[in-house]
Amino acid sequence: MPRICNLSPTYPFNFEINRSKRKSLAIHVKSGKVEIRAPRYASTKWIHEFVFDQKSWIIDELARQKRHHRQRLIIADGREISFMGKPRTIVVLVSHQKEVRVTRDFVFLYIRKNTPENLEKMFNNWLKDKAREYMGVETYKIARQLGVHHKLKDIVFRKTKTKWGHCCQDGTIQFNWLSMMAPREVINYLIVHECSHLRHMDHSKKFWNTVASVCPNYQELRHWLAENGHRFWSGV
């Protein structure tokens, strides 16, 4: 059974100890909770010393996740969202006809029933359509530029939590449609990244050289996505 501990009253967090057949200690922080994954034989002293050594990192990670939670996307009237890197204000209008219309400064959501669930569903469906329109065309264009278009089998879109893109061995490329909220150059980097995997199914030096041949500033764009990608999620 998991055990909830707090090493000291001065610690601003509790932690849960979960023992298993693993051989080493590890820390897992998610949704404000700290879990210590430990071997079955690990002594309480060893675990506590490990937590003490990692205290600063745990505090920083809890603060980072709390900050990200506050910055999460909220689809509602008057809230701000981004489309291809341009911030726009949401305007919700109750209407018999469902439609999403984008202007320079606004995203108009025409919806029959104004509920959080309906708004999120409408926005996601619209964003997925936009991803197909833009990323679909650009992926074939970049694949042809890299000379790997004959290896491209299909392009699919899924809202996956762990990856913005993925290239399968069979030549299917998968994108997370939420990436359409990123700036155009970041979206293009994702496309170049996955198309480059059609040439090199790894992250070797040759792979990154292929990416750089089309996207010389890929490191900057990759960093931007790592730092800002959490803003595109409405969940925790």
Phi, psi dihedrals of residue 47, rounded to the nearest 5°: -65, -45
Spans of the chain below 50 pLDDT: 236
State pLDDT tens for residues 121-175: 999 999 999 999 999 999 999 999 999 999 999 999 998 877 899 999 999 999 9
Beta partners for 16? 4, 35
Q: Give the pTM.
A: 0.74
The full set of domains in the chain, from first to last, is 3-70 (no CATH), 80-232 (3.30.2010.10)
Residues in the chain: 236
